[in-house]
Amino acid sequence: MNAGDAYDMMEAQYIRRHHRHDIRDDQCSSALVKHVKAPVNLVWSLVRRFDQPQKYKPFVSRCIMKGDLGIGSLREVNVKSGLPATTSTERLELLDDEEHILGIKIVGGDHRLKNYSSIITVHPEVIEGRAGTIVIESFVVDVPEGNTKDETCYFVKVLIRCNLKSLANVSERIPVPDQTQPFNRF
């Protein structure tokens, strides 16, 4: 088994443990993985900010909170032009700071992502001898009339890949004082 196989097994374990969705026949679902060269606490500090998704999500121009950042609170997200939407209303479903899990559900907006929910988890790993992070985002969404499961999944995966790439770019640009020394496991 090579290192790539070990990572694949780790990712699969995280997905089985944290990324469970009840999927109906008229829905599609997938999970995407991104390796980030930044410590898990730094990456989590960006992901967990339900009130500030624009910190790393390039398609979000503004976020207005409705609630106290507790489970069930809502955010009204304004989407940048270029996408087939202008607003999205999203509810915080899960926020676990110990396990590093964020779950959201889209409950309104002027887009075609009906019954969309996603789970994002972050997990520590070692990348090139330094503290790094595995970020996994999974989703389930209705397939809109006139679209196939493949088309719907492809569209959502493109958006998520873009968000994950941006999360990595933002995270990796934040200076980390203790990153000057190699990471030792023992």
What is the CATH code for 27-172?
Answer: 3.30.530.20
Percent of the chain residues past pLDDT 90, beyond the cut: 74
Contact assessment for residue 123 and residue 19, using Cβ atoms and an 8 Å cutoff: no
Q: What is the mean pLDDT of residues 143-150?
A: 95
Give which of 123, 96, 157, 127 is closest to 10, Cα–Cα: 123
Q: What is the mean pLDDT of residues 48-62?
A: 95
**Predicted pLDDT of residue 80:** 85
Q: What is the mean pLDDT of residues 132-145?
A: 96
- Residues shown for the chain: 186
- pLDDT band of residue 84 (cuts 50, 70, 90) is confident
Q: What is the mean pLDDT of residues 85-91?
A: 92
**Predicted pLDDT of residue 17:** 87
**Predicted pLDDT of residue 178:** 60
Residue 96 CA from chain centroid, whole number: 14
Mean of pLDDT over the chain: 89
| Residue 94, helix vs strand vs coil | strand
**Predicted pLDDT of residue 39:** 97
CA distance 125 to 130: 8
What token pair was written down for 160?
């998520």
What token pair was written down for 104?
């959201």
